[in-house]
Amino acid sequence: MLLHSFDDLVRTMRSFQASRILLTAVELDVFTAVGAGATGAQAAAKLGAGARSTEMLLNALAALGALTKAGDVFHNTPVTARHLVAGSPEYARPELMHTVNLWSSWTTLTECVRADTAVLPPGIDGREEEWTRSFIAAMHSNARTRAGEMVRAAGAERVRRLLDIGGGSGAYSIAFAQANPNLRAEVFDLAPVLAIAREHIAGAGLAGRISTRSGDLRTDEFGAGYDLILLSAICHMLSAGENRDLLRRCGRALAPGGRVLIRDFILDPGRTSPVPAALFALNMLVATRGGSTYTLAEYTAWLEEAGFGGVERPDPAGDLITAGLQTRQDAAKVRAESADSTKYTLS
């Protein structure tokens, strides 16, 4: 997104109009109403909406290329027919409703900047069931596309006990269990989320190997003896202090030699790139008490404070970070080497 001129600035400021048109179409399920073809009046009757306003909305959608129009009849495009018409195998409206719901939070950005925090109630707890389901559906869709990479990065064949903190739909735990028949996983999340996770786990036929545990990842202890802990799309919800505390509790829950695998946005040192990571920091401003996006240096410092070593970013441009829990001997060796290095430098 490059803004080279005043015209570029104005165009970008007005780009919310196209976004709002598409979000309203998703919210109303307009594309299902259009189906194989419908006039504005026919679509309005299915939606229970005004004929005049529906015609205006459909014309705008056709102008954007989300629909086509022949005479008075509107038709879905191949893309909207595939993803936005109910009954399609790839119907994506449930997960896209999360994007619809983000609108309310983002309209408070000005107030959030003034207040230095979210001004709407944060978190899944306290949100209605429909909001929770759309949020988890969006996370599930993303997790399914990333699960293979996570499994490979962690080396699932070496894992026997997995703890998936804030595991949402259980998509990652399912992928790990499918990759290693000897692995047992536990999904740790809020009770309303776990009800959804259990549906996915049962659907995968893994209820005997993936358990669920309700709790608050901000405060609860996680148990002990895990080989691997997953923190996927969790750290951005928390403040720096909350992440330090979370990683200390993760360290206490790991077996000797255990590891943590983090997936999240990773900012470059200047905090202005990658663009999605910089923009997502504001998504956390409007949606959480103290969340943000962070740099690799910040993650490294938190992990080392919590007793982890060997912090790595497998792909320098990727969003994964791995680290292993240090033994007391390893930690002592690192401290000694650091002291020697400082002594040599000062001399």
How far apart are the C-alpha atoms of 301 and 213, rounded to whole Å?
A: 29
Residue with tokens 């790139």: 273
Contact 31, 78 (CB under 8 A): no
User: Shortest CA distance to 112 belongs to which of 290, 294, 293, 295?
Assistant: 290
Q: How many CB atoms lie within 10 A of CB 202?
A: 12
For residues 80 and 66, the answer to whether their CB atoms sit within 8 Å is yes
Of 98, 140, 200, 236, the catalytic one is: 236
Is 200 annotated in the active site? Answer: no
Q: Which positions are annotated as active-site residues? A: 236
